[in-house]
Structure 1
Amino acid sequence: MTTEPVLTVTVHGLPAPQGSKSHKGKGRMVESSIHVAPWREAVVWAMRQQIIRQRGWRPLDGAVEASMVFSFVRPKGHYGTGRNARVLKPSAPARPAVMPDLSKLARSTEDAITTAGGYRDDALLVSYRRLEKRYVTDAGSVADVLDVQGAVIRLYRVEPDGEVTP
């Protein structure tokens, strides 16, 4: 089984979840988070830039496996004060087990990949190789964790026999 992705994209920006929509009257629905549109635009832009580099790219059409690693800045409360302002407190959590929901981050990103032409439809996703939230402080020690907020997205083709190929 080959493990190389057919497309790898780094997106900078605040990852935002696609969650519920609220009804504003007269048939108008609005995303519950104001950060969804900028995040989706950042994913579309980064994905299209990478697709341009892949001469002859056509949206994936068939079973797709994905990897998404979302990187977040730690809250200031995770650090000490004064001369310890750059030192993590012993009580600081190792992982961002807080909002936003990982599945909702994936949903907004999946839709943006469809818009950008990474794959024909997000219904083609059959599995995730990796789906994580991390803090930027893990950059350099954990693969695909950025030193700024954003995400590393990898797409893989899945062969009919279940094997993943480049």
Structure 2
Amino acid sequence: MTLTDESFAVYCAGEQIAENGPGITYVYARTPIGRVRMTADEADDLGHKLIAAADCDRRLHLSDEDAANPYLDPYPWAPEPALTITVHGRPAPQGSKKYAGHRRNSASGRVSAVLVEQSKRVKPWRALVLTATQTAMVAEHIKRYGGRPVGPVPPLDGPLAAEVVFTVLKPTSAPKRRRTWPTTRHSGDLDKLLRSTFDGIADAEAIADDSRIIRVTAEKTFPGEHPDALDRPGAVIRLYTLTGADTMTTTTVTRSDR
């Protein structure tokens, strides 16, 4: 990867520094304040942030040609997530129903079928998402304002984008010597995994409503086989806001004690 600019350049030199131990790859970055050495992971993280920042700036100042391009996402998403949620637990798909009998409406006398959630794991998963989301909201508030919130943290409002990486359980029968992907029913349908996850986030009142999410990027992976994969089943969720859009419905009070 090479990013070049009049004021900044990152070069992945891949140089092995013997005195710092075998197998450690360092990257040199030429910056306005001089040459900086960092690890490959640090440089990769920096590169992603630079690309996101440049992309956001470009979308805020679209040229006439770009504005007329129907394939270009016109939304200037903020380069940093407004909220990052890490959930530990087995993701459960929501939406598959099973028949559980009939019931009669006492007022109208009409008889209708009773359908219940087929997976018993949906409620526990939504509860895990709710708890993890509430924890993330408090942590984000402390990070931004330097203290714990007094009262509820206001939800994100306005247009939102969601990036979700589900880490699912890898079958014991999966091959050990070649790459495999979570494509079986055992891993769950991606759209149904998103449904239960977004409902859990809405239950935590982190967002005004899950209808606010206008863009979704989602993946399934096995533990340790993706940059955002966890070491056990769970999910990493990032919520992004539009630059310049109103994202908080109210203000919140902060107290200095932790």
TM-score interval (norm. to shorter)? 0.7 to 0.9
Q: Deviations over 1:7-28 (max 9, x none)?
A: 0010000001012223423264
Where does structure 1 lack aligned partners over 5 or more consecutive residues? 80-87, 162-166
CA contact (8 A) 1:43 1:109 kept: yes
1:47 correspondence with 2:133: yes
CA contact (8 A) 2:90 2:169 kept: no
Greater relative contact order (CA < 8 Å, ≥ 6 in sequence): 1
Q: Deviations over 1:39-71 (max 9, x none)?
A: 101000100111122255311111000011000
Larger radius of gyration: 2
1:121 correspondence with 2:197: no
How far 1:160 sits from its partner (Å)? 6.8
Q: Please state whether the residue corresponding to 2:232 is helix, strand or coil.
A: coil
C-alpha distance in 2, partners of 1:60/1:123? 12
CA contact (8 A) 1:78 1:89 kept: no
Structure 1 residue ranges (4+ consecutive) displaced by more than 4 angstroms after TM superposition: none
Identity across matched positions, percent: 40
C-alpha distance in 2, partners of 1:113/1:68? 12
- List aligned pairs for 1:1-166, cutoff 5 A: 1=56, 2-25=78-101, 26=103, 28-53=114-139, 54=141, 55-56=148-149, 57-79=153-175, 88-90=176-178, 93=180, 95-99=181-185, 100-128=188-216, 130-138=217-225, 142-159=226-243
CA contact (8 A) 1:8 1:155 kept: yes
| Counterpart residue number, 2:253 | none
Q: Residue type of the partner of 1:4? A: E
